[in-house]
Amino acid sequence: MKKLIITAGITGSRITREQTPYIPVLPEEIAISGIEAWRAGASVIHIHVRDPRTGLGTQELSIFKEVTDRIRAETDAVLCLTTSGIPGRNLPVPERLQPLALQPEMVSFDAGSLNLNQTVFLNPPEFLDTLARETLARGIKPELEVFDAGMIHTCIRYAEKGLLKRPLHFQFVLGTIGGMPATAKSLLHMTEILPEGSTWSVIGSGASQLSMCMMGMVMGGHVRAGLEDSIYYSKGVLAKTNAELVERVVRIAKEYGRDIATPAEARKILGLT
């Protein structure tokens, strides 16, 4: 069996301290939580940062630098930096692209717009075109975050135009309010329409985090766990760290017989240069 890449989504941009006291907010907290998740078995660390004054997500380069410098110094993890900014607040494109300056191996590429509660998470063609061109020019691999099946077709069109380099790597985001539900049928459909040679990983938002990790694991894909996707460890019980969410996936994978990819192995699977 192919080794399993676990990505850890450390903090996201929207979860507040009121929702859970365990969400990392300060740069040092985000870095330490990322390092702990790597120690627990995550080979890819997906990073958002927060404005220390407001606690909200920001694309401020100096804060990304502080966090990534620390993680790079202490781990060999693959870094996947967000370009989403704050979904629903829709920061200007240049601001969203700032983390590319740190030359991470991967950045997120949200392949379309969707409704989130009463707001719209905007990812218009102008943003996708610019992001695709910038990642190509810098040799950064986009992690294609798709919330519904139509977004897969968008990515295929970008690949046909030469704006995305094959093999593509998809991150299915299931169980969000405006996207496809976190069900076996959704996952099956999405994997069936992927272009040949693609790799994929799955996120189950909220209560579906564990079930989607288990499904992704047995279907031969890769998985993401972490506080960005669910602040709960189990019903009514808050997760205290990202590491404990990663450790649980590692335990289940070992019982199932799927070995965990090291960062070096993850780089090989994802074709990172």
Q: Which stretch binds Zn ion (CB under 5 A): 22-30, 80-88, 129-137, 176-184?
A: 80-88
Q: Which stretch binds Zn ion (CB under 5 A): 52-60, 76-84, 99-107, 162-170?
A: 76-84
Distance CA 25, CA 31 (A): 10
Question: Is residue 83 a contact residue for Zn ion (CB under 5 A)?
Answer: no
Q: Which stretch binds Zn ion (CB under 5 A): 82-90, 110-118, 166-174, 194-202?
A: 82-90
Nearest distance, CB of residue 63 and Zn ion, angstroms: 15
Distance CA 104, CA 151 (A): 24
Long-range Cβ contact pairs of 249-257 (< 8 A, separation 24 or more): 249/6, 249/41, 249/213, 249/217, 249/223, 249/225, 250/6, 250/40, 250/41, 252/213, 252/214, 252/217, 253/4, 253/6, 253/217, 256/217, 256/218, 257/1
Distance CA 26, CA 52 (A): 6
**Closer residue to Zn ion, CB minimum distance, 114 or 157:** 114
**Closer residue to Zn ion, CB minimum distance, 82 or 199:** 82
Nearest distance, CB of residue 161 and Zn ion, angstroms: 25
Residue 223 near residue 202 (C-beta atoms within 8 A) = yes
Nearest distance, CB of residue 237 and Zn ion, angstroms: 23
Nearest distance, CB of residue 9 and Zn ion, angstroms: 6
Estimate to the nearest angstrom the gap between the alpha carbon of 101 and the chain centroid: 19
> How many positions of this chain bind Zn ion (CB under 5 A)?
1
Distance CA 260, CA 154 (A): 31
> CB atoms < 10 A from the CB of 172, how many?
30
- Which positions from 15 to 54 touch Zn ion by CB under 5 A, shown as an x/- string? ----------------------------------------
Nearest distance, CB of residue 192 and Zn ion, angstroms: 25
Q: What is the CA radius of gyration of the chain?
A: 17
Nearest distance, CB of residue 110 and Zn ion, angstroms: 9
Nearest distance, CB of residue 108 and Zn ion, angstroms: 6
Query: Which of 11, 43, 82, 83 touches Zn ion by CB under 5 A?
Result: 82
Of all residues in the shown chain, the one whose CB is closest to Zn ion is: 82
Q: What is the binding site for Zn ion (CB under 5 A)?
A: 82
